[in-house]
Amino acid sequence: MSHRKLNLLGRQIAGKPIDAAILQMVFSEKRASTRIKSMLCVARDHAEAYKNLNRSKLIVAEAWVSKGEKLRRLDIKGRGRSGVKHHPKAKLTVVLKEGKTLQEKVLAQRAYKVNKIRSPGLMRENKPIRNPGPMWAW
């Protein structure tokens, strides 16, 4: 598999919860998605069994692709000529970590937005206007 093709799938799953990443690979039309799905399932089970990580909090922290050796084959052409075909190989590396679940992320974002809202109070605060419009509005 070419590293450019595999990198598209790596970007698709990076930063997502492990179950959402596996679901992405189930419904992906790419040929490599079946291999990546099985790799993610094995990594999830390995993290749970041997590393004692909580399965519901696992996220794909990082996913990167590295190039491998190119397999060279003889390409026989007409009129006694020949060439070399290169079959590229690539390796996808995935790092799983415990992170926030989707519900925790939503609650944290909601709390951030609520704390961001300020009421005008009784007096005008001494702060500049953030997004001033054009000077003249006609």
Q: CA-based diameter of the chain, in Å?
A: 92
When divided into structural domains, the chain yields a total of: 1
Stated pTM of the model? 0.73
Cα gap 63→22, rounded to integer Å: 13
pLDDT of residue 116: 74
In-domain check, residue 131:
no
pLDDT of residue 135: 67
CA–CA–CA angle 48, 49, 52 (5° rounding): 60
Residue ranges of the alpha helices (H) in 50-129?
102-116
In-domain check, residue 124:
no
In-domain check, residue 121:
no
In-domain check, residue 108:
yes
CATH of the domain at 62: 3.90.470.10
Q: What range does the domain containing 65 cover?
A: 3-116
In-domain check, residue 68:
yes
In-domain check, residue 110:
yes
96 burial via Cβ count (<10 Å: 0-12, 13-18, 19+): buried
In-domain check, residue 130:
no
**pLDDT of the chain, 138 residues: tens digit per residue:** 889 999 999 999 999 999 999 999 999 999 999 999 999 999 999 999 999 999 999 999 999 999 999 999 999 999 999 999 999 999 999 999 999 887 888 999 998 888 776 656 566 666 666 666 666 655
Beta-carbon contacts of 6 under 8 Å, excluding residues fewer than 6 positions away, are 32, 65, 90, 92
In-domain check, residue 138:
no
